[in-house]
Amino acid sequence: MCGIVGYIGGRAAAPILIEGLKRLEYRGYDSSGLAVYHSGIHIVKTAGRLSRLEEKAAQLPPGTAGIGHTRWATHGEPSDANSHPHTDCTGQFAVVHNGIIENYRELIADLKTRGHRFDSETDSEVVPHLLEELWTGDLAETVLKALPRLKGSYALAVMAGARPDELVAVRQDNPLVIGLGAGEYFIASDIPALLAHTRKVIILEDGQLARLTREGVAVLDRTGRAVDARVTEISWDAEAVEKGGYPHYMLKEIFEQPAALRNTLGRYMDRDGGISFPDCRLSPGDLAGIGKISIVACGTAYHAGLLGKHLFESVLRIPTENDLASEFRYRNPILGPDTLLIVISQSGETADTLAAMREGLRRGARVLAVTNVAGSTMAREAPNVIYTAAGPEIAVASTKAYTTQLAVLALLACHVAQALGREQEYFDELRRGLRQVPQLAEGVLAAVEPRVQELGRASTEWRNAFFIGRGLDWAVAQEGALKLKEISYIHAEAYSAGELKHGALALIEEGVPVIGLATQPELLEKTVSNIREAKARGAVVHAITQFPLLLADAADACIELPQLPAALMPLLAVIPTQLLAYYAAAARGLDVDKPRNLAKSVTVE
C-alpha cells in the first residue's frame, strides 16, 4: 500500500510532488522517491521518511513534470533500490506503482531471457521493462499494450523520456484520482494530496487510463477509446486535512468526533426522527426478507460491527454474525439471497474487506457498505452504501471513523426496526439518545482529557495493560486495547470480564493496570465483581462508567460518563480509551500518527 502523485504544468514539479506525498504518507512511509523531466528523466529515491527525500530532491533540476511515490514495503525490504520510481534498462521510462503484480516472477524470468537487467526485488519493476519492450512511440498506447500482461492490482503513474510533455496514469483495483487545475494537472492516490491545488477531480474507474498534458486530460478505456469522465467537485477544504493547531492528527480527529457525529446523524435523520439513506436502495420489503445478517470488517471497523450484532440480534432477533474479513472467505460462510452482508471500512480500500464484499455479491447476498470515502472502490462496487460523514481521517489510528460507524449502525437498526415494525419503544429511545450524542461527546472530551492525560503520562511505567468488560463493554475493551498497542506499543489485552478467571487472571499481579469498562446496567453487578477479582490480585483499576458510586470501592479511580441508552454507551466510553492511547504514545515520544509497521490503508491481503 503506497501513495502515488504526479504533476504536469508550469511550476517546478518536485516541491509540489513532495507536498502531495506528505498528504499521502498515511498510505505508507518506509521509503519514497521522485522522477522529474528536465532534458531527460532524473530520479531520486531513498529508504526512510520523506524528510530524507526532501534533502535529496534539492539536487533535482527544475522540471515541470514529474511523478512521486511513498511506499510501504510488500515485495523487498525498504531500501533505496526497492523505492519507486523504477526504471527500465535504458532509463527512458519511470514508473510508480501501488498494488501487487501477482505474475511478476514469470514476467521477470521471461524479460531476463531477452537481456533485461533488474535492480530491485520488487514486483513493480517489471512494468518499466515491459514498456521498454512494447514501446510504440505513443505512451498511452504502450501502457495499454502492457496492461493485459499484468495480473493483479495496480495504480500506475508513468513518464517517458521520449514524451516529456505527457504523463499517463492507470488503475485496476487501486485508487487513483486526477486533479484538474488551470493549465496544470495532478495525479494522486487520494484526494487530500490535491486539495491545496484544486477541488475538481476525476476519480478513475478500474481499467481507465488518463493521459495528462499541459493542455488537459483525456480518459481512455482499455481499448483506447475516449471516455466521458465525470468531474467531481470536492467539498472538503484543504484546512480540513491540516492539523488545525493540534500536535497530531490523531488528537485533532479525536476532538472532531462531536462534529463528525453531528454531520453523520444530520445526514440521515430528520428533525422528527425519520431515517433515510439516499445511497441505500434496500426497500422495506427487502429488509423484511432478511433472514440473517453478516457483518464483516477489519480492525477498528470490526469492533464497530460488534454493536451491529447487539442491535440486530439481541434486540431485533435477526440472526447476526461478526467476521474478521481476513477469515470470512476462508470459512466458507453460508450466504444467500436472504443474507444482508454489511461490510464496514473507513477507507473503502481494505483488500480483505473488498474481497469479502465481492464474495458476498458473487453468492447472491444483499450487500451494504458502510464507508467514509466517496469514490472508494467499496463505494463504487457496493449496490448500497451508507457514508460515515467523518471527513478525512489521516492518523493511522482510527478514531472518528469508529464512532461514526457506531452511529450509522444504530441508525440502520432504527431504520430496520421501523421497516419491520418491531421494538418501536426501544428504538424511539435510541433515536432520542442519538440526538444527544454529539453534545455529550463534547462534554466527555472536555471533562476527561486532563485526567486521562495524567494517566497517559503515568503509563510510561506500564509494560502490560488489561481492558475488561462484558457485552458491549467488551467490544469497547477490544477497541481500547487495539488503540493502546497500535500507538503506544504497550502490550494490551482485551478480556471479557467474566472470562478472566479462566486463565488470564494469572497475569494480574501487583500494580498491573486494568481499565474496567462498566457501562451496561444489566451486566453491572457481574462486571463489578470481576473488577474486584482483579483488584484483589493487586491490579490498579481505572473504571470507565456512568455509575461511579457503585464502583467507588471496587476501582482505584473512576472516569465518569453521562447517561445514555446502554447500546449507545460505546460512543462515549471509547473516548477515554482513545485519549489514553494518544497520551501514552505522546508521553513516550512516539510517532503517534504513523506507528511503526502500520499503514492507514491496507490494500494487500
Residue with cell 419503544: 425
Which of 99, 299, 516, 570 forms a contact with ligand M6R (CB under 6 A)?
Answer: 299
> Judged by CB under 6 A, does residue 353 bind ligand M6R?
yes
Separation CA 164–CA 185 (nearest Å): 14
Total residues contacting ligand M6R (rule CB under 6 A)?
A: 16
User: Over the range 364-401, which residues count as b (16 or more CB within 10 Å of their CB) and which as e?
Assistant: ebbbbbbbbbbbbbbbebbebbbbbbbbbbbbbbbbbb
Of residues 359-398, those binding ligand M6R (CB under 6 A): 396-398
* Least distance CB 512 / ligand M6R (angstroms): 24
Rounded Cα distance, 191 and 159, in Å: 21
Q: Closer CB to ligand M6R, residue 150 or residue 599?
A: 599
Closest separation in Å from C-beta 270 to ligand M6R: 28
Residue of 98, 153, 264, 346 interacting with ligand M6R (CB under 6 A): 346
Closest CB 136 distance from ligand M6R, rounded Å: 39
Q: CB nearest ligand M6R: which residue?
A: 299
Active site residues: 2, 600
Between residues 455 and 481, which has the closer beta carbon with respect to ligand M6R?
481
Q: Does 350 bind ligand M6R (CB under 6 A)?
A: yes
Measured CA distances, 265 to 157, 198, 340 (Å): 38, 29, 22
Which residue, 220 or 401, is less far from ligand M6R as judged by CB? 401
**Edge-to-edge strand order for the sheet containing 292-297?**
320-324, 292-297, 339-345, 366-371, 384-387
The CA angle 386-391-394, to the nearest 5 degrees, is 120
Q: Using CB under 6 A as the criterion, what x/- string covers residues 508-537 for binding ligand M6R? A: ------------------------------
- Distance, in Å, from the CA atom of 300 to the CA atom of 321, rounded to the nearest integer, reads 16
**Longest CA pairwise span in the chain (Å):** 79
- Residues forming beta bridges with residue 339, ordered by sequence position: 292
Q: How far apart are CA 548 and CA 558, in angstroms?
A: 6
Residue 602 found at the interface with ligand M6R (CB under 6 A): yes
Q: Which cell numbers in the block locate residue 236? A: 472538503
Contact between 486 and ligand M6R (CB under 6 A)?
Answer: yes
Q: Sheet containing 185-188: which strands, arranged edge to edge? A: 41-47, 31-37, 65-71, 3-8, 185-188, 177-180, 200-203, 231-233
Cα gap 405→343, rounded to integer Å: 11
Residue with cell string 458502510: 370
345 contacts ligand M6R (rule: CB under 6 A): yes
Q: Which residues contact 51 (CB under 8 A, 6 or more apart)?
A: none
Instruction: Pick the binder of ligand M6R from 50, 301, 368, 534 (CB under 6 A).
Output: 301
- Please list the alpha-helical segments (H only) found in 173-291: 249-255, 257-268, 284-288
**Spatial CA neighbour of 45 closest among 163, 100, 124:** 124
Cβ-based nearer residue to ligand M6R, 167 or 579: 579
> Shortest Cβ distance from residue 319 to ligand M6R (Å)?
24
Near ligand M6R by CB under 6 A: residue from 298, 307, 382, 579: 298
Residue 543 makes contact with ligand M6R by CB under 6 A: no
Which listed range, 181-189, 241-249, 299-307, 490-498, lies at the site for ligand M6R (CB under 6 A)? 299-307
Q: Which cell numbers hold the place of 223?
A: 481499448
Under the binding rule (CB under 6 A), the answer on residue 407 touching ligand M6R is no
Decide whether 13 or 344 has the Cβ nearer to ligand M6R.
Answer: 344
Q: Select the residue interacting with ligand M6R from 64, 92, 153, 300 (CB under 6 A).
A: 300
Least separation in angstroms between residue 443's CB and ligand M6R is 24
Residues that bind ligand M6R (CB under 6 A): 298-301, 345-347, 350, 353, 396-398, 482, 486, 601-602
